[in-house]
Amino acid sequence: MASNRPLLIPSPPPDQPTAPEDAKLPDPIPSPILRSFPSQRRSMSSRDALPSLAELMSSSKRGFSVENSDRKNSRRSNSERLGSQKEIADEEARFIYINDVSRTNGPVKFPNNSIRTTKYSILTFLPRNLFEQFHRVAYVYFLVLAALNQVPQLGVFSPVASVLPLAFVLGVTAVKDAYEDWRRHQSDSTENSRGAAVLIDGEFKHKRWKDIQVGELIRVTANETLPCDMVLLATSDPTGVAYIQTINLDGESNLKTRYAKQETLSIPPQSMSGLIKCEKPNRNIYGFQANIEVDRKRFSLGPSNIVLRGCEIKNTRWVIGVAVYTGKDTKVMLNNSGAPSKRSRLEAHMNRETILLAIALALLCSIVSLLAGLWLHRHRDALDEMPYYRKKDYSGPDKDNYKWYGEGWGVVFSFMSSVILFQIMIPISLYISMELVRLGQAFFMVQDKGMFDERTNSRFQCRALNINEDLGQIKYVFSDKTGTLTENKMEFKCATVCGTDYSNGIDGDVIERPPVTVDGVTLRPKTNIKVDPELQSLLRDGVGRKADGARDFFLALATCNTIVPILVDTPEQEMKLIDYQGESPDEQALVYAAAAYGFMLIERTSGHIIIDVFGDKQRFDVLGLHEFDSDRKRMSVIIGCPDKTVKLFVKGADSSMFGVINKSLNLDIVRATETHLHNYSSLGLRTLVIGMRELSKIEFEEWQSTYERASTALFGRAGLLRAVATNIECNLHILGASGIEDKLQQGVPEAIESLRQAGIKVWVLTGDKQETAISIGYSCKLLSNEMTQIVINSHSKESCRKNLEDAIAMCNKFSTISPASQNDAVSLALIIDGNSLVYILETELEKELFRVATGCNVVLCCRVAPLQKAGIVALIKNRTDDMTLAIGDGANDVSMIQMADVGIGISGQEGRQAVMASDFAMGQFRFLVPLLLVHGHWNYQRMGYMILYNFYRNAVFVFVLFWYVLYTAFSLTTAVTEWSSVLFSVIYTAAPTIVVGILDKDLSRKTLLEYPALYGAGQREEKYNLKLFILTMLDTVWQSLAIFFIPYLAYRHSTIDGSSLGDLWTLAVVILVNIHLAMDIIRWNWITHASVWGCIVATAICVIIIDSIWLLPGYWAIYHIMGTGLFWLCLLSIMVVGMIPHFATKAFTEYVMPSDIQIARELEKFGNVNGATPTNIPMRTFSQP
């Protein structure tokens, strides 16, 4: 497949180009062409003259064809990468006076170079943190209740006790946020204190990074990190070239080339002065628009002239630059955004249950207030004699009203007081419990050795803690191909040269190239590849036109690139390895292939390259180049050869190259090459077509003249360079094509099969062409020979409509004739390209595409742009309730990663943009299986149970309080002490549910991986749904009746006071809910035992301590009742009676209507007694929401 990466960064040309044989590259040009001309390009023979600059400017204003964005260039549009394309308005510009800080920073001072990634300061922490926390509506609810409790007429609890729960939750969260912010502050302090060499009083002196200002000159030496965004003014290379590594910026380890302007190279730093007019700070790390004025001459600046903070200088002794953006204005800081904030499906559903509980709470309060009103009306004549309701105060000389405001206000006060009393119906502790559980779950996911990538020595990353449980409910997986399913490590496999297919190297042996000796040092390529013996013999010994064409083919591979040869030491002092560094893995593979076949690149400078051709060192002058871009899909280089000829080499995608190849010259070779390309694509290989043309002296001089004027133009440079490239890249002679393999990652076919068995649909969205994508689909078992393929390749809206209608008819046909059994159903695969999606997405045809896509087992989208990937994800996300997951490794995957419910970034070869935008990050695609099928399953089961348990636990307590109110004349007094009410959710019952939410496992890892179908429990929401919530609430009513009425009936005629009964009810609630939890725990360990039984003991101790404080109500109450046998009998009776429904339901479902999970658990418990295998275990579904 054609390489979808920018292949070249241009090298700088000289001011005065000379004859081709000793010419050097012109002044540094930014990335080349924005868009291609339409396919009707005019052919230019060797006798045709190149157009004038005026003609180029005119032609550059025409319409251009725009194709889908390719993979790498999707994250750096060519318009962004070009230099000054239009004049920057003064109000939109920043003016930097070189080496004049005071003038640069006046009258408005630019930010210094200190950075601040902290969220809070000492003054803003409290108000901002509270403001953020109160975005949760439940916190506002509890704040209002706490405020109501401060009203004397409504005071159910003491002021301190009413505020304590909310204060505790807010405090814990605040401490966590403060600690995280303190760590960021420490990191900022370390970064700001680093040192740099800054020109001060004519000398470079040490200065802290945070004190660097815009306009200062900075010197950075090899392997040092750049302190700010700088425009290069000079480098140790006489041509102004500098090599940088951007691994700290975007994760890419390959070297990139940047340049200083020729006009500033020779000026000493102490004498440097001038004016830079540049765009204001922005987030685009691949674009820069500016111009520089030196000695009253203006020159344009582009992305190739700026180096960004965080990059490192490599293979360059030193560089000098002027600071243009500092501190918070640097591009890396402007792009410093945290992980996206998403909300889990369970938490969204929890709001539904919260509303239902609020309705239940309002109903209970209404019942209490209504009955209180009726009671007050019935006893209105006797209220003066009742101490609690006395209307009149006779303590003074005059009678006055005493705690009485009339029956109407009495009803209102009863309603509000009951709201305060029953407030824990909505558990405030649930939110902090969920955060702690997610933190624990994330810890175990990070520590999972099964998701540790040994190649990169990287662990799983959990960047978003609030959607762990969503991993257990995924229905659709949208995956990129290159770098996600494949390794993105390219290996040259075969080539077609002059119409002959040389693919014997695919199954051949790796042959080491004979070493090359340079200055007494033996050089070998770091990587050896398999070679075709016939092709190697042709190159070495062949004669004639075919042999010359083959040599030109590999010469093109060795020269048409920006690869930098790096010498790597070996244990043998006289032996060194050549490591080819470049921006594109495709380029590296092609240069290694050229070296294996005898064309070894051993040296590169800005103006020439040296290639060892079968032991003969030859120098080739680089006279000019046009960089690869996403619209032309090709790049070209003009080379001055040792024989004084000038050759134009072009390589690119077949769709682009065949439009500029003169087919009349070698029609048979062109047709044979097309056939071979189709065969290579069917094998899943990436292809590039190579062409060339020899330039006459007149052609070259005219091209050089127009090229130089276009590259130095201040305005409209993009269009001019586009026109220059289009006019020179034509009438080519085809040399051949290459086939490069992007290997599948380890375990990808097995991972996809496991996901499909789990009921997860896997869709692949790729920028590759259709043949390559289909071949990879077969390789990774996404497609099979039994599948019926529906292919949609349309170039108009009406054609798309017709194809979709036919596809719908086919889907309906197969769904009708297919048997009911899903295993025997006909499998359908939809294959659609990006051109068709242009006419479908965001139109009325989306509905038809949705019907077709959801009716297919597999969807494969080819040649899709980044926004189209996001559109496909949105198609499912917005039209279904199914959970979506997107996984990718490149910047062009960011859109779909952020669109999906769960986004996963692969730490691969294409930088860290996908990781930075993701919710989770990992090293390989196959880790998706344990992440979803194991951790996702566990997280969902635990969190779903924990939420229901928290609702159940608090509802039991509230209903006990409610029954008591009904027997106290609806006075809203309570036998349970206020401190027990406060501590109920914090100490008495909090720890067990958190521990179980982190540690409990319904099934082992081995079982979950062996039977992927068990994952369906989460997709069907078996563990948390409305039906389970209602059943749980009904159980709470029964248990509360048992807790309240058993002691009430036992002690109704005794002298035991209300406080003693309150202590009994408190202990009964805590013991019962913990036994309920213990009955549901699957995996016991010492931590679980300690939390469950420890909380019961802690509750008893707390009750005893509270009743031992004489200042509190209920002093010594527990001692009055605990010493009697009836007390213990009541507790035992409550446990037995209260657990009858839960025990009976559990036994009935497990033995009569077992779910898949329960069947698998029995298999684990008793072993494979029936010789069951993963294919014959009877599975069924239960507990549909």
Residues assigned a catalytic role = 480
Report the SS3 class of residue 66: coil
| Amino acid letter for position 528 | N
| CB 849, CB 871: distance < 8 Å | no
Q: What angle do CA 6, 10, 15 make, to 5 degrees?
A: 165
Asked if residues 95 and 110 have their Cβ atoms less than 8 Å apart, the reply is no
Indicate the SS3 state at residue 892.
Answer: helix
* Cα distances (angstroms) measured from residue 147 to each of 156, 159, 425, 944, 986: 12, 9, 18, 32, 20
Contact of 749 with 731, CB cutoff 8 Å: no
**Euclidean distance between CA atoms 1000 and 1080, whole angstroms:** 10
Going by DSSP bridges, is the β-strand pair 858-862/761-765 parallel, antiparallel, or unpaired? parallel
Question: Side chain identity at 662, as an amino acid letter?
Answer: N
The burial class, CB within 10 Å (0-12 / 13-18 / 19+), for 809 is exposed
> Using an 8 Å Cβ cutoff, are 869 and 893 in contact?
yes
Report cis status (omega within 30 of 0) of the bond before 107: yes
What does the block give as tokens for 919? 């919710």
- Closest Cα partner for 1091 from 998, 1182, 1026? 998
Which among 538, 476, 473 is positioned nearest to 502, based on CA atoms? 538
In the sheet that holds 255-259, the strands lie side by side as 255-259, 241-245, 312-314
Amino acid in position 1135: M
- Those residues whose C-beta lies under 8 Å from the C-beta of residue 996, and which sit 6 or more positions away, are 942, 945, 946, 1077, 1081, 1088, 1091
C-alpha to C-alpha distance for 217 and 233, rounded to whole angstroms:
9
Q: Give the type of residue at 994.
A: I
Residue whose tokens read 């494969």: 860
Enter the DSSP assignment of 661: B
CB 635 within 8 Å of CB 7: yes
Cross-strand pairs, 312? 225, 245
Question: How far apart are alpha carbons 906 and 461 in whole angstroms?
Answer: 10
For 1148, counting Cβ atoms within 10 Å of its Cβ (0-12 exposed, 13-18 middle, 19+ buried), the class is exposed
What's the order of all strands across the beta sheet hosting 275-279? 93-97, 275-279, 290-294, 297-301
Query: CB count, 10 Å around CB of 671?
Result: 12
Residue 940, both tokens: 């969902």
Distance between CA 557 and CA 600 in Å, rounded? 10
Quick check: helix, strand or coil at residue 1108? Answer: coil
